[in-house]
Amino acid sequence: MDFNYKEQIAYNNGFERRIERLENNLKSAQEHSNNLEAKINQLTSTIEIQRHWIDELQQKHNTFIENEETIISLLTSNEDGLRKCFFVRGRDIRQPKAIQAIDSRRRACFWSKQKRKEMVEQSLEESCLEEA
């Protein structure tokens, strides 16, 4: 290629401008890459925190289920335990006079094991809802 001096300078200036544009593009791409990496790190830490909370909630849920099952099994299988549950201030609340003092919704529950179990489950659910 035969270039005269002015054409050579113009040709070189064109290359210099292209090189500058490429360098600027490279810098902006690196900045963008750094920003993306920071966002990925932030999301990763957020995910780890959420996994920790999920694990903790799962443990609490499992503990609650175990406690609920223990209470229900105690109430339904242990007659002595049930008998003790029916004594309030030294009075057997299964006696007719004592039962009249209990509201009608709860009164029916004391006569059937299944009803007692349902009542315990309901009160546990209500207490969990109140805590939530």
Residues 41 and 83 in one domain: no
Residues 85 and 101 in one domain: yes
- What is the structure's pLDDT at 78? 54
Residues 59 and 91 in one domain: no
- Of all residues in the chain, what percent are helix, strand and coil, respectively (each to 5)? 85, 5, 10
Q: Give the end of a domain, one of 45, 77, 109.
A: 77
Per-residue b or e along 31-60, where b marks 16 or more CB atoms closer than 10 Å to that residue's CB: eeeeeeeeeeeeeeeeeeeeeeeeeeeeee
Q: Is the pTM of this model over 0.95?
A: no
> Do 68 and 121 meet the contact criterion of CB atoms below 8 Å apart?
yes
Structural domain count of the chain: 2
Residues 48 and 98 in one domain: no
List per-block mean pLDDT (blocks of 10 residues) for the chain, which spans 132 residues: 70 85 94 95 92 89 80 62 51 51 48 64 71 60
Residues 70 and 91 in one domain: no
Residues 68 and 18 in one domain: yes
The whole domain housing 12 covers 1-77
